[in-house]
Structure 1
């Protein structure tokens, strides 16, 4: 199917040397033959993702971005471990084959995993899928069900009990993202002082049942089966995964969830088809998640506002690299305006909140 996610030419400054990578991969993965061609997947704004195409086998390579980056945000070994140890309990994880710690090979650590070929939904639903509102609603609910399924995984049984520290998670996220935001400030960026104060004042206790949280769960990190696009067959981008409050993870996902009646400036920020006829609204999303997870949610405004602030922190970290000339990717030039819009959205939520 033409809708299968495709790679393209590598962006300038982000090239990989096939002659250096090929011997390493052949020493780690059996039955590789020939010389690979390398291309790049255009999506994503953090870790870089490449297609390593051998005759008869396709691999995906993940490496950190070039330039300034948070020390803990691009741990290739950690992501490699998560994929391998979580896969049995959560079969949407791609199989990871090799983790290279020798930074001399390509200038950083990296890992290589299987390519899960499928459809990735980006800004709009492709017309070729011919999904009516009822089918879209069903797909949306399956998207939420998969998140609930992840949050229910027994992380101790997977050997991932040391992945994070659930106790004090909410407090650490608010203070941690505040600190990271300050470190990534540029002269043209908003300060977010009122929002940070509100989050600190209205912080709830940690949910009593922590779980594995993805921290970047959205439709463009989900792979649909080309033979049956109503089925989810993969979940990508595990770099931020940890143990913590599942409602904070819900807030992260809500921050990306732009619905049909959001104003035009917000619509221009949309990166997934969450506005399509049949998609749940944010309120319906929360209610359905609560129903399927059995978790009562009485302070939705806090989690949504936290998600918006955290997203602004990620956006600003990326913009910092662009501002200081550490990346030439022109997509990032407007990220400071996106940051300002996220602050405006947060202030609107706070202004209407009953908290």
Structure 2
């Protein structure tokens, strides 16, 4: 096993050992995870497998994937893993028995939202529908759909689960959040019409271990500049404020909501203490991980700025999820430390 994979499994093992997670309901069950080669889905899978490794929990994991070799490279050849060939939007067929479904498969490239918005919409919607039809056919106990903070659009004040703001459907960048909204509605609709229990998880921007070194999102760009001893260059005014979440805290949130969440409900997941502006985040990264004398400065790039989410400050309220027993553990600094440490192990 490569050093980076050992690092990721070591972090997952710590989550798997936590006693306040709903293992009594997950041990001995079969869990299907789409998006299992992505940032969040892969760490959910590693956590379930680590649970088996350390306490012989008897959890069976089913992975619908487009690339079998990639899945095997990430998780190894294991008797507790079954792989199904599947591309987002195709009919999902295979395992006859599944207890829980985590639907985490989705592209997250802002560039594709602009350049191929129709494809973005149809992949998200058809993928969500395929997963829900499958869950119905196997009589799954519950489906968890991984949504996004972007469904809130331009919301006034703190964003609670029932306080969504404006999204202009004529702006093609909104192809991503509009499609996510529709799948959220599909989840509620399948619960009502077909009796498929489902919950929606709206994550704040999530990062930490497992983010690729060449990731083009702003948090990764800041991390690269800091460890390379370079200034951080902002392509906007940097005043927009967002909340953030660590990969580890997202895994905890998913497992808790999957078991304890009420069907037909949405749950926000964010560390409210990690709420800050882009400029504030850039300065924190340089202060803690950058070279002496480096600074934050601005250069206008209209092409890159067009890919950014066009909305006001967005602060999620996670009190509804906390009522299920979840609490975030990792600060913004912890998120950066996990990401940078993982890069160093990979190098």
- TM class, shorter-length: 0.3 to 0.5
More helix by share: 2
TM-score by length of 2: 0.32
